[in-house]
Structure 1
């Protein structure tokens, strides 16, 4: 992403970070990678041999003036030659104008579509030029993210915490697009090959943390994937909607799935937000495995939409956290339990469940710095 002009130092206390659990759906949790703009030249700048992804900028807009990155195509070629998953970001200097935002996305999506699979990330880099109207700024960001989603890609919002808190209602963003924040916060300008979680920018909904601007000597932005979002477009390709054949014995309009795989009775359209008209992020054909990164999570509840055999669209509130086996469920309890595993912290548990870590701790009569033990059962 465009080099930040500000060093962002978070002021929260240090906390433990749980390592990624095994399984294909979570394969990218903890993966790292750089981002490139024209400052990295025509060949980009590689970070480390174990990097898995890169975010590349094809260009962007400054108040309606477009600046294309001449380095873009060759950087894409270098990234692919080095086996990196290619994701994108756009400089999004639109202020409070939704119209400018939509035009910018429309301008660059054809280039992106020719270089990265559907489902991959397109982040909007909004860190300068905000208007004085928080609602208008947020509307403009959401308009661009909605436009990205309409093309079949994964939208993200990129900035840094102080700017976001001053100019954006970020909770509106994560309500519609959970875990869609890419937030920068650095401890210093020393070479930092691994994230220092003592300076994590404590906010809900962070999917990618840009933890340094000096990933390698000489300067390079370094990012860590906290949720597996960089698998999007690579381990799971959005598919075309499938209309199941008629079956008179099928009981229509049921809200259920089993063992992480939707039954042969339903085609599932996963939406990017709660509203019925929110964009479809992915469509799962009968029998396809569910990739939870495409599911949105509200207060720890996994939700999706599906089309039944009868052709009706149904809203499924399944009430399960990622990784649990799905079974038939018609009601959702206000209280769920979680068994603490070795290395867990309130932050890592809350991030996995999609809830606020302070509320999680308080619900269990603790604060975020309280000691928790493997095998302990907590409520959420």
Structure 2
């Protein structure tokens, strides 16, 4: 399938804000400093929670490392609510989770409204539920906003002028500021940064809403302060490789996260009996294969996934370098894959490219095969 990839150095749309989640894995302060200094990023919005049960395992480290890099920090909650009561319950869960993760008072905690639960509701119901969520979230000291797609804004829910964070991915974002009357316009899901692996959601800010009511921990130009806070934020997460032989067991205490997902290696990787390069090799995975894992460990130089092998024994495979390159693609839980519609596409052609029935493809996007699709529109393909 073909995804739109943007050369971020040649496009007119600014990269004012980046949003990250568990799908991006562990992000170091050095990566955020690079985003700020080399690409002009001002703010980062991190995933906090989803529904009333999921807490993003990387939220706390992302918040600490973003602040250490001297950037503004915000959060978002992926909404699953379909009723007012559920919206209030999710706001309470998101607020408590954000507090525990260290999101500072005054930050934005947006509700990300794009799920099937809201697609099945009327505009009036979604408006009522979103209002309830935002009113409740303010009780925790956070400012509220709504994130949604351009095709949903003012169709599935009301997004007033001077509010809202809207996603729309045109073939070329150059030369036009889409959604200039809203707080932010997310213009690409696949921007690249020099020292970070994978594609990132990037947004242009049209107001100071996502850079207000909080103070950065350090000034962007204060290199000594950045270095010190980098050291504090990443304490125990990144070690000096030169002090350790390549075959020694990792001895630093691991950070462990319960996370179910699928990992698709892009290179040959060894499976080991423990989370470290000094443990015995017991199997091998190759590019094109996949492994279902149930736990992630950040341990010294690498990020590891734990899984149960066919023989019932534990297996560990490296997902990538801690704060560096990933060794493949990680699809977490019920994460979706998206396809951006191009000129000439049809329900049939997109379904064929993704191994889907076109009726099923349309249905999972809340549409029928008779619904017109437009270039720049984003469709769920998995």
TM-score computed with the length of structure 1 as normaliser: 0.46
Q: From the two aligned structures, give the one with the greater strand fraction.
A: 2
Return the TM-score normalized by structure 2: 0.46
